[in-house]
Amino acid sequence: MAVLVVSFIFSMIFYLALTAGSGTAFYYWSSSELITGVFFSLIAAVLAKKLIGSSGIKPGWQFMNPIRWVKFLVFAFGPFLYNLTKANIDVAGRVITGRIDPGIVKVNTGLKNDFGLMLLANSVTLTPGTLSVDADSKRNLYVHCINLENKDRKCDNVCGSFIKWARRITE
Amino acid sequence: MINEVLYAIMGIGMFFQMMGTLALHRFPDVYTRVHGATKCTTFGSMFLYIGVMAYSALMYFSGDAVYLSMALHIFIVMILILLTNPTGAHAIARAAYRSGVMPVKAKVDMLKGAKL
């Protein structure tokens, strides 16, 4: 039931954001858009409940805590943005010069839940010369690195401070 | 003056998009190509979106209310691109490895023979 209500509210917020400025019946929205929004949000909520119920994933209620959202925003605009910029200049240089030294490296993450692993894998894919290829049941990540010139293949060099941040945000 | 700054921002975005396309041509195998294609296109589109968002905000504050919804839409698109682009890249790389494509010129391959 809680899954149904929360996914209904979030899809409704999403729909309202997409249709803002359509009329004046209710602040910025026209009445026809509101009715359509409620209808489709209900469909989305029922589908989400069915999907989560059948897959056996536990809903991550700890993410309703606003402190975690603040931590996530600090992470997104701090170290993540910095590394994203660095990665892109690096890859653009490699495209021009063609100097690569690839390999697949195993990273012991030690994370306790799958949300942290998802956050880490996504951030790793978008940052310096690394691409997450696979993960095993013990939440170890297999990362494809485009440049292994420094032969020190420890996870500190591959993921930087991301493991620490993923733990801080999700645990 | 402000328009020129916005053109410059979009120009940077276009440059990174071009690098992403060039990466598909220059790199030897699927993994390195995915590197170029995801990172450069995400960053390049972010610059394009920021340019368009700033332009829409400018038009909104000069009195054209239609542009508010445009800026909002672009913002949502930016967040969705940041979430879905690495996920898609991961899916491609994983599918490639599991169907037997080995990385070319790899020095180490710790995934080979690993228990998943």
Could you give the ipTM of this predicted complex?
0.75
- Among A93, A108, A87, smallest CA distance to A153 is for A108
Same domain, A91 and A165: yes
A154 touches chain B (CB under 8 A): no
Would you put residue B27 in left (φ > 0), alpha (ψ -120 to 50) or beta?
Answer: beta
Question: What is the per-residue pLDDT across B42-86, written as a single tens digit (0 to 9) for each?
Answer: 888 888 999 988 888 888 888 777 787 788 888 888 888 888 888
Number of structural domains in chain B: 1
**Domain limits for position B54:** 2-98
**Domain limits for position A111:** 86-170
From A50-54, A97-101, B50-54, the region with the lowest mean pLDDT: A97-101
For residue B77, what are the CA distances in angstroms to A145, B34, B59, B110? 28, 21, 20, 36
d(CA B28, CA B71): 39
- Name the maximum alpha-carbon separation found in chain A: 64
| Chain A residues 62-81 with a CB less than 8 Å from chain B | none
Position B112 in a domain: no
> What's the pLDDT at A151?
53
Nearest to B35 among A20, A122, A146 (CB): A146
Same domain, A35 and A108: no
- Is A88's CB within 8 Å of B16's CB? yes
Number of structural domains in chain A: 2
- Is B103's CB within 8 Å of A121's CB? no
For residue B28, what are the CA distances in angstroms to A8, A141, B34? 46, 24, 11
- Is A106's CB within 8 Å of B40's CB? no
Position B109 in a domain: no
Position A27 in a domain: yes
Position B30 in a domain: yes
Tell me which chain B residue has its CA closest to the CA of residue A13. Answer: B76
Position A75 in a domain: no
Under 8 Å between Cβ of A121 and A144:
no
Same domain, A39 and A109: no
Query: What dihedral angle (degrees, nearest 10) is formed by the CA atoms of B13, B14, B15, B17?
Result: 90
Average pLDDT over chain B reads 84
What are the structure tokens assigned to B101, written together? 């494509």
Same domain, A166 and A95: yes
> What's the pLDDT at A135?
81
Mutation site, B35, B47, B101, interface A, largest A CB count within 10 A = B35
What is residue B116's DSSP assignment?
-
- Is A103's CB within 8 Å of B108's CB? yes
Same domain, A54 and A91: no
User: Can you list the positions of beta strands (E) in A3-161?
Assistant: 103-108, 130-135, 140-145
